[in-house]
Each structure stands twice: as structure tokens, then as C-alpha cells.
């Protein structure tokens, strides 16, 4: 039982780190077209071409590059979802659907951009890459934050196993006439921290999954994302504290 508890505790150190990495929210750079894609990174060459002379060809190349960049990101998100060991089946299905519908919409928009011949209409189409889909400001954090919330759920299950093991060890030590007050206090602190972390994470998927680009544009989705990230950072700290309490409890029983 002692070895089993130590092994689980080692795994929880990794789980706590996953909560942190999964909670990252992408930030946006200043767009080359007001309200449109940022034009940074892999699309920097196309951005420079527009600044040198905005034409149908340079605008279309820029739009195609920004959509291709998002396709790469969506592919990475799809792999993350399918490879996640913590997402619930329903959360994974919802996120996969969001990624697929975003890709489908961008595919249709690319065809529209490639067929457009009027500069003003083409500019408007390019702006839709950002405003109608919000890959980096909405879809990416949705995937990361929901995955982070579900990681907390899995960590709670693991902590529950530890609690069961440590409770049995405390009972055995107490029956043997040992003073178990310190170990029990550590275990109680661990259980309280885990319960609080789970309480912070549990509501997040239901709050995050329904968010839409329109809500982001209206300013209502941003606070939800920010609050979710804050909750996960707090949950991360609580899980780290719980792990320390578990180690202290185990050591007190030696």
C-alpha cells in the first residue's frame, strides 16, 4: 500500500503541471487589416506584400495564408483532443465538433476569397477569418481550458484513491497505539484542498463549450475565458498543496 501511494503521488505531480499548460489562452497581435487576422509569423511575407501594394493577388495570398495557418492549428487541436487521457467522451465530442465546424466554415470562406474580384469585398471576407471564427482567441482556449478542467476531475479520482489508502494506514497505525493526529490533520487538509479544486473546475466545461465567436465579438465570452483560466490556476495551486499534504501524511505514518 505504501508503494502504491508513492507511485500515485508521483503521477499527480505531472497531472498538476498539465492543468497549468492546458489553461493557456492565446493572445492576439495587431491585425494588418482592422478587425482581421494579425498577419504575423508564417504569414509575415504576405503581410509585407500587402503593405508594399494591396492588390487582389496580395490580399488573396494573405487570406489564404491566414486560413492555412488556422488549418494547421485546428489539426493540432484535433490531435490534442483525440489524444487526451483526461477529456470526458462528451467534452471530447463537443470540442471535436467545434473544431470540425470551424474548419468547414473556413474552407467555405477560402473558396469565397479565392473567387472574389472586388477589393473591398475581398477585404471584408478576409476580416471574417478572425471575426467569424476566432480560432486563436476562442477555439484554442476552449480546447485547452476544458481539457484542463477535466484534468482536475481525473486528479480528484486519483486523490480519492490516495485518501482511501492513507485512511486505512491511519486506522492501522492508530490500532497499533500510535499517535495519528498529525497524519489525520494532513489527510483532512488534502481532502479539503482537493474538494475545493474540483469545485472550481467542475462547472467550467458547461460554461466554456457553448461560447461562440459572436459572443466573443460582443464582449461576453472574454470574461468567461478569463474567469475559467483564473479558476484553473487556483485549482492547480490547490492540487499542488494537496499533494504536499499527502506526502506529509505519508511521512507522518513512517
- How does pLDDT run across 101-110, given as a tens digit for each residue? 999 999 999 9
What percent of the chain is modeled with pLDDT above 90? 80
Return the minimum-mean-pLDDT range out of 30-34, 92-96, 172-176. 30-34
Residue 3: the pLDDT is 55
The answer, yes or no, to whether residue 188 has pLDDT greater than 50, is: yes
Q: How much is the average pLDDT of 149-158?
A: 95
What is the DSSP code string of the chain? -HHHHHHHHHHHHHHHHHHHHHT-----PPPSSTTS----GGGHHHHHHHHH---HHHHHHHHHHHHHHHHHHHHHHHHHHHH-SSS-HHHHHHHHHHHHHHHHHHHHHHHHHHH---HHHHHHHHHHHHHTT-IIIIIHHHHHHHHHHHHHHHHHHHHHHHHHHHHHHHHHHHHTT---HHHHHHHHHHHHHHHHHHHHHTTHHHHHTT--HHHHHHTSHHHHHHHHHHHHHHHHHHHHHHHHHHHHHHHHT-
- How does pLDDT run across 55-79, given as a tens digit for each residue? 999 999 999 999 999 999 999 999 9
Q: N- to C-terminal Cα distance for the chain?
A: 13
C-alpha distance from residue 161 to each of 10, 128, 144, 149 (Å): 14, 49, 26, 19
Q: How far apart are CA 29 and CA 249, in angstroms?
A: 48
- How does pLDDT run across 115-127, given as a tens digit for each residue? 999 999 999 999 9
Domain coordinates in residue numbering, the chain: 2-252
Q: Across all residues in the chain, what is the average pLDDT?
A: 90
Residue 28: the pLDDT is 46
Structure-block grid coordinates of residue 29: 497581435
Position 41 confidence tier, pLDDT thresholds 50, 70, 90? confident
Q: How far apart are CA 251 and CA 240, in angstroms?
A: 17
Query: Of 4, 41, 12, 44, nearest to 169 (Cα)?
Result: 4
Position 40 confidence tier, pLDDT thresholds 50, 70, 90? confident
Q: How far apart are CA 159 and CA 2, in angstroms?
A: 14
Query: Of 89, 84, 14, 73, nearest to 41 (Cα)?
Result: 73
Q: How far apart are CA 36 and CA 43, in angstroms?
A: 13
Q: Kindly report the three-state secondary structure assignment for every residue of 172-207.
A: HHHHCCCCCHHHHHHHHHHHHHHHHHHHHHCCHHHH
Q: How far apart are CA 169 and CA 178, in angstroms?
A: 11
Amino acid at each position: 500500500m505504501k508503494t502504491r501511494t508513492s507511485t500515485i503521488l508521483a503521477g499527480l505531480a505531472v497531472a498538476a503541471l498539465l492543468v497549468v499548460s492546458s489553461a493557456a489562452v492565446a493572445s492576439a497581435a495587431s491585425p494588418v487589416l482592422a478587425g482581421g487576422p494579425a498577419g504575423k509569423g508564417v504569414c509575415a511575407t504576405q503581410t509585407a506584400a500587402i503593405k508594399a501594394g494591396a492588390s487582389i493577388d496580395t490580399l488573396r495570398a494573405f487570406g489564404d495564408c491566414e486560413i492555412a495557418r488556422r488549418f494547421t492549428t485546428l489539426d493540432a487541436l484535433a490531435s490534442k483532443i483525440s489524444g487526451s487521457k483526461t477529456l470526458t467522451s462528451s467534452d471530447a465530442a463537443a470540442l471535436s465538433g467545434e473544431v470540425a465546424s470551424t474548419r468547414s466554415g473556413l474552407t467555405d470562406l477560402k473558396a469565397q476569397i479565392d473567387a472574389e474580384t472586388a477589393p473591398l469585398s475581398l477585404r471584408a471576407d478576409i476580416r471574417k477569418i478572425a471575426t467569424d471564427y476566432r480560432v486563436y482567441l476562442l477555439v484554442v482556449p476552449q480546447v485547452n481550458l476544458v481539457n484542463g478542467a477535466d484534468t482536475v476531475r481525473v486528479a480528484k479520482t486519483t486523490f480519492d484513491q490516495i485518501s482511501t489508502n492513507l485512511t486505512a494506514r491511519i486506522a492501522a497505525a492508530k490500532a497499533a497505539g500510535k499517535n495519528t493526529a498529525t497524519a489525520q490533520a494532513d489527510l483532512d487538509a488534502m481532502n479539503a484542498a482537493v474538494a475545493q479544486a474540483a469545485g472550481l473546475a467542475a462547472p467550467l466545461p458547461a460554461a466554456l463549450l457553448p461560447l461562440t465567436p459572436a459572443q466573443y465579438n460582443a464582449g461576453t465570452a472574454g470574461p468567461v475565458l478569463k474567469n475559467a483560466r483564473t479558476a484553473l490556476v487556483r485549482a492547480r495551486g490547490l492540487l499542488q498543496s494537496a499533494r504536499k499534504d499527502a506526502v506529509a501524511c505519508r511521512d507522518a505514518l513512517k
